[in-house]
Structure 1
Amino acid sequence: MARQTPSENPKLDPKDTSNQIKDPKDWTTGSEPMTGAQASYLKTLAEQAKDEEAFDPDLDKAEASQRIDALRHETGKA
């Protein structure tokens, strides 16, 4: 298999930072309502953590992501 160059595969370009993980508070769509997948996963994690108050259907995408990360850590799924 031929070796790919950064121009053929942008994941290989060290100057391209568009694929980097960004802090949720820096997301351009972070203030939009959380996705269905986020809501489902957050609900599941809240139940596993026995913390029903951790689920709030009014969270935005960024808030949901942060809460998911916290609950993943709390439940040992991180």
Structure 2
Amino acid sequence: MSTQPIDDNPKAHPTGNAVKDPDDWTTGGEPMTGAQASYLKTLSEEANEEFNPELNKADASKKIDELQDKTGRGE
């Protein structure tokens, strides 16, 4: 049994790692999810930008953040 303080254990904080840099995701290189694709397509249309269906999960997440800022949806 570990005597590690609870504050040092990331699993002790269910949302502690919820916001993680997409570059650090272990599954970031996988194809984007259906939900990401749908939302990214909507944002791309609103921002008058081309939708790229070939983005991986990490790149799709970054593009979503970028387009949310551009369209004002991220507020």
RMSD: 1.3
- The superposition leaves residues 15-38 of structure 1 with CA deviations (integer Å, 9 ceiling, x where unpaired) of 333531110000000000000000
* Cross-structure match for 2:9: 16
* Cross-structure match for 2:30: 32
TM-score (norm 1): 0.75
TM-score (norm 2): 0.77
How many residues end up aligned between the 2 structures? 64
- The percent identity for this pair of structures is 58
* Cross-structure match for 1:5: none
Structure 1's consecutive aligned runs of 4 or more residues displaced over 4 angstroms after TM superposition are none
1:73 aligns with 2:69: yes
